[in-house]
Amino acid sequence: MGLLNDRQSQLLIDGKLVAGNAGTFPTVNPATEEVLGVAADASTDDMGRAIEAARRAFDDTDWSTNTELRVRCLRQLQEALTKHVEELREITIAEVGAPVMLTSMAQLEGPIADLSFCADTAESYQWTTDAGIASPMGIKTKRTIAREAVGVVGAITPWNFPHQINLAKLGPALAAGNTIVLKPAPDTPWCAAVLGELISEHTDIPAGVVNIITSSDHAVGALLSKDPRVDMVSFTGSTNTGRAVMADGSATLKKVFLELGGKSAFLVLDDADLAGACSMSAFTASMHAGQGCAITTRLVVPRARYDEAVGAAAATMGSIKPGDPTDPGTVCGPLISSRQRNRVQEYLDSATAEGGTFACGGGRPADRDTGYFIEPTVIAGLDNNAKVAREEIFGPVLTVIAHDGDDDAVRIANDSPYGLSGTVFSADEERAAGIAARMRVGTVNVNGGVWYSADMPFGGYKQSGIGREMGLAGFEEYLETKAIATAKN
């Protein structure tokens, strides 16, 4: 791994670090708008070679059946990532704009630690199950259920939590015996490319098992969904792009995993500590500039205490100033790009156009002339039909919505095309649990509980996706099921 100020990352294809046939493209520091360096820009031919290498490695080597090798390689990768964690931290802060405080959690150190779960699961997994002897149609038969790797996996990942999402796909896919082609977002190519360097230099992963393709052209990644040599696509990103991935994959009926958007609700019941709950909601919505699919961006509060709730949220959110991600005290860093900042600003403009008001924030910080910053913003005066309440903004924006009791709060939470996450706060844990059970979402935080963990499944209902990532369920997404029936005398 080179130093941050002289990096020129490469592709990993068939075990070799190589240049991209389309040249290079820049990667930019979103906090300073400065070009950090360049990444290899892959062509469609490069992607074709990567897919072919993954296909050959799956078909012609023992990778899919050699569990001992896979476990050893995953532990080697984890060791290499741990050894180089400070270099990785520097890259992550600079390229992603992630506040340094988050790199000790889900932005870096957490995902590295989570690789242990993948290796441990592969090591202890029951790959075959004896289903016993029966006599279907009068034929005495011994039945066995086998779990096997899907094959070649195409992984397409976003820019907001690149290490977490790259490793949440790479780890279980490899542990399950698959080969993989990873195509990261063009906004954060280095975070993926460094994996290629570490795999090449510090692990025994055979050539072709892992291929990493960085490209400025989204069409290069789309080839993974279309190519018949790819058996499965694992995609994390926007719902609109997820639809395109699913449509492209339908031509070959390949397996598709989708982790998509969210517009999650934070429900505060009438017996809850209103100020404490609203403050937590505001803090959560500000972290990493709100660039998280599972962040609760609709704060749903009792109508009788609406103004008090808005004030409590604004007091917290207004005190969080967008800042330098290298500062240990920064919670809210920059958005990833000028394109994303402009998109968030358009949503804020739509809120005022629909009659909403800003209790705090509402635009670019006055003291930030450079960097893609937006002030943490609390929107008041709108209901659940407003554009900012319906659509995923991906910025530090919290919309406060009034409810008229528990049933209405649940109705508002579920009145969304998404179903990724949710939160419930109540002084009565049993009451909160009843509300959580009625929410049509994949994860629920009750009174501040944390659902993020290597052994817990993550994913959503409705248009938030298909399937689960992480946990045993996430590992088994990368497996096929085979029934073997042997006639017995």
Q: Which residues are catalytic?
A: 259
Residue whose tokens read 């279980």 = 172
CA–CA separation, 169 vs 154, rounded Å? Answer: 10
Q: How far apart are the first and last CA of the chain?
A: 61
CA–CA separation, 340 vs 336, rounded Å? Answer: 7
| Residue closest to 245 by CA, chosen among 181, 312, 156 | 156
Residue whose tokens read 């944390």 = 450
Q: Is 133 exposed, middle or buried (0-12, 13-18, 19+ CB in 10 A)?
A: exposed
Contact between residue 178 and residue 107 where contact means Cβ atoms under 8 Å apart: no
Please name the residues in contact with 392: beta carbons below 8 A apart, sequence gap of 6 or more.
238, 239, 261, 262, 263, 293, 297, 418
CA–CA separation, 159 vs 183, rounded Å? Answer: 11
| Residue closest to 24 by CA, chosen among 5, 48, 7 | 7
CA–CA separation, 331 vs 316, rounded Å? Answer: 12
CA–CA separation, 40 vs 157, rounded Å? Answer: 17
Amino acid identity, residue 55? Answer: R
78's tokens: 């984890």
Residue whose tokens read 């209103």 = 274
| Residue closest to 228 by CA, chosen among 195, 251, 246 | 251
Sheet holding 479-487, edge to edge: 128-134, 141-149, 479-487
CA–CA separation, 376 vs 290, rounded Å? Answer: 9
